[in-house]
């Protein structure tokens, strides 16, 4: 079974530039998550989709971050404009559903460096 695919693996941009990350979840998984993992910290949930609808984006900095999930499958996360503090690993995860005990499967992440 193919896992969660993310691209690119690494990205370096200058502050105030824009960047986009792509995620392809495991086939059949209704729930998709984007996490931000800053060095030395645990992952923090940015946004959660159930099919193509947003169920939680309470920690997404909406003035600069946006995300969409096209047709309830692939998802993109965009940052515009980027700040130095956005340097982090962005992890995409998916699960069969949103029940509390469902295992989330994680991609390898995209490491973003803002200079």
Partner 1 sequence: AQSVTQLGSHVSVSEGALVLLRCNYSSSVPPYLFWYVQYPNQGLQLLLKYTSAATLVKGINGFEAEFKKSETSFHLTKPSAHMSDAAEYFCAVTLYTGFQKLVFGTGTRLLVSP
Q: Which residue ranges make up the site for partner 1 (CB under 8 A)?
A: 3-4, 31, 33, 40-45, 48, 50, 55-56, 91, 93, 95, 98-109
Spatial separation of the C-alpha atoms in residues 4 and 91, rounded to whole Å: 10
Which residue lies nearer to partner 1 by CB, 69 or 80? 69
Which residue lies nearer to partner 1 by CB, 61 or 81? 61
Residue 16 CB, nearest approach to partner 1 (Å): 28
């Amino acid at each position: 079974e193919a896992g969660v695919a993310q691209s690119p693996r690494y990205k370096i941009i200058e502050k105030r530039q824009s960047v986009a990350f792509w995620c392809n979840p495991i086939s059949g998984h209704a729930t998709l998550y984007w996490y931000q993992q800053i060095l030395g910290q645990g992952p923090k949930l940015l946004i959660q989709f159930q099919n193509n609808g947003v169920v939680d984006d309470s920690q997404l900095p909406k003035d600069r971050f946006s995300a969409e999930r096209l047709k309830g499958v692939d998802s993109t996360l965009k940052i515009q404009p980027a700040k130095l503090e956005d340097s982090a690993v962005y992890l995409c995860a998916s699960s069969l559903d949103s029940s509390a005990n469902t295992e989330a499967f994680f991609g390898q992440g995209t490491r973003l460096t803002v200079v």
